[in-house]
């Protein structure tokens, strides 16, 4: 359901964006120049004021779209019985107005008790404006908020356009330096944070406390934030989806912004904050590869080994893992497996025979590592297990290649 251009779900209007030009009851109450006081309070002081509507109609429903602040001197309830007053209040409540403001001094010196009772019953915020204060002040205040929000959003779009030109190489670094200086971000590293556009309001709730510069880049938001422990801790605790990179100086923004946007793609998959350092690795690269592209590595390079291990108990998979482990050479791998170096050489030769790929060749070693990574990290261990196998090596049965499976201690065993 849509009211006033906003989606409504189960009677709750979805919050407006951070620059939608709306004010709230709470903000209005803290503005002293308006001289507004609340009589029937609301637990939700953040209720948005999207429109201001001065009217003395007893039934203004044809002109209401939702989230209006109704301004009245009280004519609709003047001299009316309780039932008529309650009907008036029910019309406003059913049309989801934000609140009713009665200007005191023109018709009423004090609010009618039935009006207060009906607003309380229907949970409609009721406010008064002191005598002698024109409604125009409220109208102008809301208009000024709307204009200020438009200016902020225009600034964010302008900054986004400028950053796009800078990344494309069609703009020098000067405007970027000036933008960082305006926000007190010059002379120190900057955390470049990329967010999905739908998090706009929550992003401001986080970064506005840290002198951040916010830019709109299409369907994404980039916030340039101080690289401080305080901000990093708040970002980590925020549970926002965010890609992060580090800009050491203004010129490095041409690299850091695309890196943050790249990290955002992985953050969207993991549903958390992801730093570019997490994906600037072979593992990070593989994590972004569609699973279907990795299946052939498992099928071609691991399935033959698992099938052979099943029938010959040759420990080819565990031997391959040990040989490819970081920092291992053939001697270290043999020691880890408690076998003679020549035994391991025989196993590696058997692996080459079964797969057509030589573990001693650097290019083939990369392919073997990809296959092992896919089986270990993407739940593809079952793809390496032959159909009907009941006693495959534990490393495969666990759906992951979590470490070499050591054979019995026998340094002279031939594989």
Task: Report the interhelical angle of 341-355 vs 303-312 (nearest 10°).
Answer: 120
Is residue 177 scored above 90 in pLDDT? yes
Is residue 200 within 8 A of residue 254, CB to CB? The reply is: no
pLDDT of residue 13: 39
Is residue 140 scored above 60 in pLDDT? yes
Segment 284-291 mean pLDDT: 71
Is residue 288 scored above 70 in pLDDT? no
Taking domain 147-280, whether its CATH number is 3.30.40 is answered by no
Segment 161-182 mean pLDDT: 90
Is residue 220 scored above 80 in pLDDT? yes
Q: How far apart are the C-alpha atoms of 385 and 388, rounded to whole Å? A: 8
Residues composing the chain: 415
The token pair at 216 is 């709109």
pLDDT of residue 283: 67
Is residue 129 scored above 60 in pLDDT? yes
Kindly report the CATH number that applies to the domain delimited by 2-133: 3.40.1390.20
The percentage of the chain sitting over the pLDDT mark of 90, rounded to a whole number, equals 55
The percentage of the chain sitting over the pLDDT mark of 70, rounded to a whole number, equals 84
Confidence of residue 85 (pLDDT cuts 50, 70, 90): very high
3-state secondary structure 134-196: CCHHHHHHHHHHHHHHHHHHHHHHHHHHHHHHHHHCCCCCHHHHHHHHHCCCCCCCEEEEEEE
Multiple choice CATH, 291-397, 1.10.10.2840, 3.30.300.20, 3.40.50.720, 2.40.50.140: 1.10.10.2840
Is residue 386 scored above 50 in pLDDT? no
Name residues whose C-beta falls within 8 Å of residue 122's C-beta, 6 or more positions apart in sequence.
89, 90, 93
Provide the Cα torsion 279, 284, 287, 289; round to 10°. 90
SS3 state at 409: coil
Segment 162-172 mean pLDDT: 89
DSSP string covering 61-118, please?
GGG--SSEEEEE-SGGGTT--HHHHHHHHHHHHHTT-SEEEEETTTS-SS--HHHHHH
Instruction: Out of 14-18, 153-157, 345-349, give the one with best mean pLDDT.
Output: 345-349
Is residue 394 scored above 60 in pLDDT? no
User: Count of alpha carbons within 13 Å of 333, Cβ hemisphere only?
Assistant: 27
- List the domain boundaries for the chain: 2-133, 147-280, 291-397
Backbone dihedral region for residue 21 (phi beyond 0: left; psi -120 to 50: alpha; all else: beta): left
pLDDT of residue 98: 94
């Amino acid at each position: 359901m849509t009211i006033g251009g906003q989606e409504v779900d189960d009677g709750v209007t979805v919050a407006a964006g951070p620059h939608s030009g709306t004010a709230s009851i709470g903000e209005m109450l803290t503005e002293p120049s308006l001289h507004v006081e609340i009589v029937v309070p609301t637990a939700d002081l953040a209720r948005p004021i999207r429109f201001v509507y001065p009217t003395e109609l007893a039934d203004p429903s044809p002109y209401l779209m939702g989230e209006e602040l109704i301004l009245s001197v009280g004519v609709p309830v003047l001299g009316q019985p309780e039932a008529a007053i309650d009907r008036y209040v029910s019309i406003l409540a059913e049309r989801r107005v934000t609140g009713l403001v009665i200007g005191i001094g023109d018709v009423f010196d004090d609010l009618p008790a039935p009006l207060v009772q009906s607003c309380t019953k229907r949970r409609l915020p009721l406010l008064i404006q002191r005598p002698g204060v024109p409604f125009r002040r409220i109208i102008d205040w809301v208009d000024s908020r709307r204009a200020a929000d438009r200016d902020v959003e225009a600034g964010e779009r302008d900054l986004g356009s400028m950053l796009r030109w800078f990344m494309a190489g069609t703009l020098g670094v000067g405007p970027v330096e000036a933008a960082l200086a305006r926000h007190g971000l010059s002379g120190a590293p900057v955390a470049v944070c990329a967010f999905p556009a739908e998090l706009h309001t929550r992003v401001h709730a986080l970064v506005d406390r840290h002198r951040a510069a916010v830019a709109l880049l299409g369907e994404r938001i980039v916030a340039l934030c101080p690289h401080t422990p305080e901000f990093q801790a708040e970002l980590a605790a925020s549970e926002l989806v965010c890609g992060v990179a580090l800009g050491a100086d203004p010129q490095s923004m041409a690299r850091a912004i695309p890196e943050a946007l790249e990290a955002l793609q992985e953050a969207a998959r993991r549903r958390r904050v992801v730093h570019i350092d997490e994906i600037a690795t072979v593992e990070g690269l593989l994590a972004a590869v569609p699973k279907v592209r990795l299946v052939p590595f498992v099928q071609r390079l691991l399935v033959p080994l698992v099938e052979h291990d099943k029938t010959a108990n040759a420990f080819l998979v565990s031997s391959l893992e040990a040989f490819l482990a970081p920092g291992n050479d053939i001697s270290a791998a043999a020691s880890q497996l408690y076998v003679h170096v020549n035994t391991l050489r025989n196993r590696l030769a058997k692996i080459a025979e079964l797969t057509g790929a030589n573990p001693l060749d650097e290019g083939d070693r990369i392919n073997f590592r990809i296959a092992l990574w896919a089986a270990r990290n993407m739940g593809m261990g079952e793809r390496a297990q032959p159909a009907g196998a009941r006693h495959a090596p534990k490393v495969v049965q666990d759906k992951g290649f979590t470490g070499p499976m050591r054979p019995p201690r026998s340094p002279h065993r031939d594989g």
